[in-house]
Amino acid sequence: MSPICPNKSDHNLYAIAVSAVQRLQSAGFIAYFAGGCVRDLIMNNQPKDYDIATNASPSQVEALFPGAETSGKSFAVTRSPVNGVFFEIATFRMDHSYSDGRRPESISFSDPETDAQRRDFTINAIFLDPVTNEFYDFTGGKGDINAHVIRCVGDPDSRFTEDHLRMIRAIRFAGVLDFIIHPLTADAIRKNAHKISKISAERIHDELTRILMESNKPGNSLVLMDQVGLLANVLPEVAAMKGQKQPQEFHPEGDVFNHTVAMLNMMKHRSPQLAYSILFHDIGKPSTAFSAPDRIRFNNHAAEGMIIAQKIMQRLKFSSDDIDAICHCVKNHMRFMDVQKMRRSTLRRLIGAPTFPIELELHRLDCESSHGNLSNFRFLQEFQNQLSEEPALPAPWVSGNDIIKMGIPESPLVGKFRVMAYDAQLEGHVKDREELLKWLQTKISESR
């Protein structure tokens, strides 16, 4: 049988992982690759890491791998160094009684077949001996990989009752691998979806981000979350966008939810801040919608959306930097309608903002997934090209001290004239600092 082996770029890591297995086997223990790396190797995908399962106890693993540490002996997982690389080596185990919907209260050591039965999905419950290239598939995982199916090991209701996070992990695996969720597994998620609220906000945030970053079509994963009842329990504000009609002339793609799904599916250069800006950019529409004589309108939906998005992100424990950037993008996404009417100084401030690359891509996707008019996008690209030889926001030529020396006392007036001077600089009304100081002195004299 030909050996299972990853791409050449990962061959060194693979070889080191095999050597770790060989060290355990040479000491008389059973040792296999386990979990996601086996699934990836079967699918000819490059594993990000290699987990190892063995019948050696944590103390025996520590003796074989100097410098190894067992982070939690209650879960029998030892972080073991080999040639400068750390691998997680877990002892085959059986889990006993879950009381918190996340982790077992206790474990007992077991054998490979018993260990496979406590895992989440069949595709993650296959073992591989990389020395003999022999698979140990006790749950039908290889068949489910071939069928492109996410199916729980054993009774799905029991798997989700044990660990509620598995429900949202099912969505992630389906999205990343382009698999479907087995009907019985999907039914069990619907039955248990309300329990996801017991999982920590940080873990939900992490899984959501991975879904948005790693799914082939993140929008389709959002639809799947809705179909199995998770969306209403994790992001009810996003679920509220379903069925919210929009003007046909601007949004032929359909309601607000469909529009958001389309944008997420069109993402190419992904980042968490862009993905969440897309997810939340129209979240204020349902609460601001009203029927005007001409059409449905959503007055101030961007400002309202910013408030809603901020509450969601605080609830899910986003970093303050991410909250600030995403809120800025949501609040200001409608101003791109008017860029061709903006003063040069306003445009330079727009382009000079640290969030501008995200805002510009958000605008492009917003247009391409709806009316298709990219004239404002192209206008901004051209303006950027015009400024390619200089910073969009150069250092100001005039400071507050300069204005105070002109006879303006320390007061809000100093800030007012400083902004006025910087606008004149950005607009190109003056050619240098000396000319700007003369111009500003005239403005100050006229104001008295």
Domain boundaries, the chain: 8-140, 148-234, 235-391, 400-447
Angstrom distance (rounded) from CA 305 to CA 300:
8
pLDDT tens-place string over residues 153-187: 999 999 999 999 999 999 999 999 999 999 999 99
| Structural fold of domain 8-140 | Beta Polymerase; domain 2 (3.30.460)
DSSP tally for the chain: helices H, then strands E? 23, 13
Does the structure show a pLDDT above 80 at 238?
yes
Closest CA to 104 of 217, 115, 425, 186: 115
Angstrom distance (rounded) from CA 15 to CA 34:
16
* CATH class of this structure's domain 235-391: mainly alpha
Burial level of 28, CB count in 10 A (0-12/13-18/19+)?
A: exposed
| Contact (CB, 8 A) for 287 and 305 | no
- Determine the pLDDT at residue 7: 56
pLDDT tens-place string over residues 213-225: 999 999 999 999 9
pLDDT > 70: what percent of the chain?
94
Mean of pLDDT over the chain: 93
Biggest CA-to-CA distance, the chain = 93
Provide the residue count of the chain. 448
Please count the CA atoms within 13 angstroms of the CA of 175 that sit on its side-chain side. Answer: 27
The angle subtended at Cα 238 by Cα 236 and Cα 239, nearest 5°, is 60
Angstrom distance (rounded) from CA 165 to CA 160:
8
Q: pLDDT band at residue 5, thresholds of 50, 70 and 90?
A: low
Question: What residues are paired with 86 via a beta bridge?
Answer: 81
Does the structure show a pLDDT above 70 at 193?
yes
What mean pLDDT is predicted for residues 238-246?
94
Angstrom distance (rounded) from CA 267 to CA 230:
23
Which distant-in-sequence residues (6+ apart) come within 8 Å of 365 by Cβ? 263, 266, 267, 278
What mean pLDDT is predicted for residues 270-279?
98
| CATH 3.10.20.600 is held by the domain 148-234 | no
Angstrom distance (rounded) from CA 208 to CA 316:
10
- Determine the pLDDT at residue 448: 76
pLDDT tens-place string over residues 60-109: 999 999 999 987 555 689 999 999 999 999 999 887 566 665 566 666 78
| Contact (CB, 8 A) for 300 and 349 | no
